[in-house]
Structures are given as C-alpha cells and as structure tokens.
Amino acid sequence: MNLLPIPAFSDNYIWLLHDGKQAIVVDPGQAEPVLKVLARLQLQLQGILVTHHHADHVGGVEALRQATGAPAWGPAYETLPEPITRVQGGDTVDLLGGPWQVIDVPGHTSGHIAFFSTGALPQPVLFCGDTLFSGGCGRLFEGTPAQMQASLDALAALPASTQVCCAHEYTLSNLRFAQAVEPNNQDLAQYLEHCQSLRSQGQPTLPSTLQTELAINPFMRSRAADVISAAVKHDSQTQPQNPASVLATLRQWKNVF
C-alpha cells in the first residue's frame, strides 16, 4: 500500500492511498491533480473521503465523481456536494485499507470528522483534515476552544505511532510559533531543523506522527507546564487549570503571530 500527498492550490495536500490498482483520496479540493496521478499510475478510484465542507477540501469531488464514478463519504451535519454518504463518530467506512474508523473532531468546523485505520499501512494512519496540523491546529471558524480541546484529546488517545496526514503544509510557520511558546523545547528545535531540511529539498514535512506532535505541538500540550506558563504570560485572563482556556489563548495568539 502506498501513501501519497498530492499538492494542490498553494499549500494543500490531497492524500491518496493506493495498492497499485485501487485508490482512495481524501479532501480533493481540486480534481485535476488527482486525475493526473490516477492516469499516471493507472489506478481506479474506489472512493472519496471528506473531512469537512470548506471549498479547498470538496471543490473537486463532483468532477472526480463524474470522471471515475467513485462514491464519497463525508460528515453527517455539513453542507457537501451531493450525493454523499453521511458518517459520524463511531461509524466505519469499508474501503481500501479499511475499515476506516470515523472520529468526530469539531472545532475548525462544527461537523468536522477524521478517518483512522490500523490496517491500511504498517503504521496506523489518520486523515485529520484541518483539525490537527504538524505543530498546530485549525482556526476555530465554527467551533469552540472546548470542542477543539476535546477533539485533540481524542486524537492524542490514538497510538503514538499513528501517521498524521493533515491537509496543509503549514509546518514551518507553526513551528516558529511553537518556539515562541516553548523556546527551551529541544525536541521542537530538532524537529524544526528536520522540517527545514525537508522543505529546502522540496519535500513535504508530512506525514508527522502523534508521538512527534505530543512532543512539539503546543496545541497538543495545553497541560504542559511551560505551555501553560507561556499562555498565562501572554494573556493574564488564561485559566491555567483549564486546558481549553490555555488552547483558546494559544489560538488567539497564533492568529496574530
């Protein structure tokens, strides 16, 4: 089984998983790059997985469906290109590499979901859309800090070896912010150096792993003493014993960083 990030727009990744014959794609904001890869590798598209309703994640769904006949699955409570099979937390999708476990991860949008499999690859794999980024998390467009905290906690409970397949190449900017929060985090310093090397060679920084994110991502570390201290120093209204309050401060800080 092969996992490929297909670049789209300026910084999106459309994830494609294939076994040499069949393929699935996740969050195809554009159809053309996907169709080119399918043709080049002579793959048949078996299905389309959608994590949330934003245009840069669903814009290519209809064209892909028309070109390939592939069905699509997406969040139960968001406006999506029909026809689409609606799924929510606790459901499973039986596609290539599955079953794919659906996890509710509201915060970035109110109905955001993620897809998780332990069988697709030697390491577990998570398609998390715009909920979790390497070194960061999504903006809270529709959800609350408490929802995002609960969503990140749900992802943190997955196996540490899980490959984190997020939908944007935001890693370097996220890590610069993370260093402002935790300047003494040596794991973070080493990871930034690693990611800078990858980008200098034109390589993606993704997938990350949950083990890495738990060590370097301030939004996954809202209970860590240094992260709490930085949040309180940035905004004295932060409630240090409330992880969602710490996350809220971090997110507002990142928005203007």
Which residues are the active-site residues? Answer: 52, 54, 56-57, 108, 130, 168
Report how far apart, in Å, the C-alpha atoms of 186 and of each of 1, 14, 71, 234 are: 34, 31, 45, 22
85-87 and 92-93 as β-strands: parallel, antiparallel, unpaired?
unpaired
Q: Measure the CA–CA gap between 225 and 192, rounded to whole angstroms.
A: 21
Instruction: Starting at the earlier edge strand, list the strands of the sheet with 208-209.
Output: 92-93, 100-104, 113-117, 125-129, 163-166, 208-209
Q: Measure the CA–CA gap between 45 and 148, rounded to whole angstroms.
A: 32
Q: Measure the CA–CA gap between 254 and 257, rounded to whole angstroms.
A: 5
Q: Which of 75, 62, 74 is nearest to 29 (CA)?
A: 62
The separation between CA 199 and the C-alpha centre of its own chain, rounded to angstroms, equals 19
Q: Which of 51, 54, 45, 55 is nearest to 25 (CA)?
A: 45
Q: Measure the CA–CA gap between 199 and 203, rounded to whole angstroms.
A: 5
